[in-house]
Amino acid sequence: MTLVEVVIALAITVLTIAGIVNGYIYCMAATTKEGLYMAANDRALERLEQARAAVWDTASYPAVDQLVPANFSNVVVNLDKNGTGSEVTTATVITTIAPISDTPPLRRIRVDCVWLFRGTEAVTNSIETCRAPDQ
């Protein structure tokens, strides 16, 4: 073997190992992001269920309406720890309640869970539904 062949073989080996390491780093980041995405989705769904469980009874006297924006202020929650185990990712859960129609009474509930991936990439998980008063 000549020196040129050895150098070329070594360069190919270095490029292959660098590709494997970069692929591993990418997969770890994608797995971490997906775990945080699922945790944020769970937090948004949790808030949506709280809004769906609020009493909104127009048939009773006096009418009871707990499905108002004042009852669902923005909250900061902790998501699962990231892959290193040293940092905790926080998210802000924002609930928007808006009327759709008065006859029949119908409201739109939208929950956004906003968080930062690695402190720079903003990610928003959104869930939206409609709700009528209790029967």
pTM of the predicted structure, to 2 decimals: 0.80
Average per-residue pLDDT for the chain: 91
Q: How far apart are CA 12 and CA 107, in angstroms?
A: 62
- The sign of the dihedral angle between the CA atoms of 69, 75, 81, 82 is positive
Quote the domain boundaries for residue 108.
3-131
84 has pLDDT over 70 = no
List residues bridging with 32 in a β-sheet: none
**Any idea what DSSP says for residue 85?**
S
Number of structural domains in the chain: 1
More confident residue, 20 or 81: 20
pLDDT digits (tens, 9 = 90+) for 24-66: 999 998 998 998 999 999 999 999 999 999 999 988 889 899 9
What is the structure's pLDDT at 74? 95
Q: Spell out the long-range contacts of 86-89 with Cβ–Cβ below 8 A and sequence spacing 24 or more.
A: 89/36, 89/115, 89/116, 89/117
Q: How far apart are CA 89 and CA 94, in angstroms?
A: 16
Q: How far is CA 37 from the centre of its chain?
A: 4
Q: How far apart are CA 55 and CA 110, in angstroms?
A: 17
